[in-house]
A and B are shown apart, each in its own frame.
Chain A
Amino acid sequence: QVQLVESGGGVVQPGRSLRLSCAASGFTFSYYAMHWVRQAPGKGLEWVAILSYDGINKFYADSVKGRFTISRDNSRNTLFLQMDSLRSEDTAVYYCARRGGAAMSRLPGPFDYWGQGTLVTVSS
Chain B
Amino acid sequence: QSALTQPASVSGSPGQSITISCTGTSSDVGGYNYVSWYQQHPGKAPKLMIYEVSYRPSGVSNRFSGSKSGNTASLEISGLQAEDEADYYCSAYAIDNTYVFGTGTKVTVL
Contacts and interface: CB of A to CB of B under 8 A. Distances in A.
Interface of A: 35, 37, 44-47, 50, 57, 59-63, 95, 100-101, 108-117
Interface in B32-46: 32, 34, 36, 38, 40, 45-46
A116 B46 CA distance: 9
B45 A95 contact: yes
Contacts, number: 66
A123 B57 CA distance: 39
A5 to B, nearest CB: 11
A47 B101 contact: yes
Contact of A61 (B32, B46, B98, B103): B98
Contacts of A95: 45-46
Nearest to B100: A47
B36 A110 contact: yes
Nearest to A101: B51
A95 B89 CA distance: 15
B27 to A, nearest CB: 13
B101 A44 contact: yes
Nearest to B47: A114
A37 B51 CA distance: 17
Given A44-B104, A45-B38, A47-B101, A108 B57 contact: no
A114 B96 CA distance: 23
- A-B residue pairs, 6 tightest by C-beta: A110-B51, A108-B93, A110-B36, A114-B45, A44-B104, A47-B99
B48 interface: yes
Nearest to B44: A116
A76 to B, nearest CB: 22
A101 B47 CA distance: 15
A35 B99 contact: yes
Contacts of B101: 37, 44-47
B1 interface: yes
Contacts of B46: 45, 95, 111, 114
A116 B43 CA distance: 9
